[in-house]
Amino acid sequence: IKLNCLGAPRLSPRVEVVEALVDLLAEAGVPRSRILVFERSSRELERAGFAIRRSGGPYLCYGTDNQWDPEPSTSGSIGSCFAREVSTTCTALISFGVVKDHDLAGVSAGMKNWYGVIHNPNKYHGTNCNPYLADVCRHPFIAGKHRLTVLDGVEAQCQGGPAFFAGGLFPLGLVAVSADPVAADLWAWQVIDAERARRALPTLAVDGRAPAFVATAARYGLGVGDPAQLKVVAG
């Protein structure tokens, strides 16, 4: 379970929500000793309120802490060393992010979270992270193992991201789950633009940061990128 704790402690997957997911996985038959909650660094996890555990406990929890594959691998236009947790350790992956805007990508929700498992993400932020973000997500380490995208939307952020910015916060009051990573980000885009409209802010597209990677990922066959095909089911 890859978290996005950049905006911790306020704008980050909440411990209680993550642990509820862990409980569901355990109830479904996944041994707790094989459930790993991870981030780029142990420090970020601790700032978000998680206890670091490399053994024992109700689940494992630690940062990748710059433990990359020794050799880079390629996918489309990217060439990166991946964190060993996604290349080797884990057989199934869940992206657990938040709903927030991003000053370059437009949206940082489920897909952008995977920039946290490559050693050189700063190299791939040009042209609104397109096609680079979609190329990371279609790498077999990600696309072949992705099972769910979960977004903690108790609070969301429509401006000032990706770092925490109190002036951009708004209450959303939900947790979103999708087996389709592209649809999840498309939905987050719509939610963010709707709040921006309420605040008389320009849409992300007008602001020059439309999440073009959504359409690219859909073209790659990673999921639904057409708003007309997006289905939202209230639980």
Residue 230: Cβ within 10 Å count = 16
Task: Examine residue 102 and state whether it is found in any structural domain, yes or no.
Answer: yes
Task: Examine residue 233 and state whether it is found in any structural domain, yes or no.
Answer: no
**Angle (CA) 105 106 109, round 5°:** 85
Task: Examine residue 47 and state whether it is found in any structural domain, yes or no.
Answer: yes
- Band (33; pLDDT cuts 50, 70, 90): very high
Task: Examine residue 232 and state whether it is found in any structural domain, yes or no.
Answer: no
Question: What is the model's pTM?
Answer: 0.97
Residue 84 has what pLDDT? 98
Task: Examine residue 227 and state whether it is found in any structural domain, yes or no.
Answer: no
Residue 234 has what pLDDT? 87
Residue 136 has what pLDDT? 99
| Pair of tokens at residue 22 | 């862990």
What percent of the chain has a predicted confidence (pLDDT) above 70? 100
Instruction: Give the residue ranges of DSSP H helices in the chain.
Output: 15-27, 42-47, 84, 132-138, 140-143, 181-198, 213-219
Task: Examine residue 194 and state whether it is found in any structural domain, yes or no.
Answer: yes
- Band (96; pLDDT cuts 50, 70, 90): very high
Residue 135 has what pLDDT? 99
* CATH number, domain with residue 155: 3.40.50
Total of domains in the chain: 1
Structural domain range at position 172:
2-222
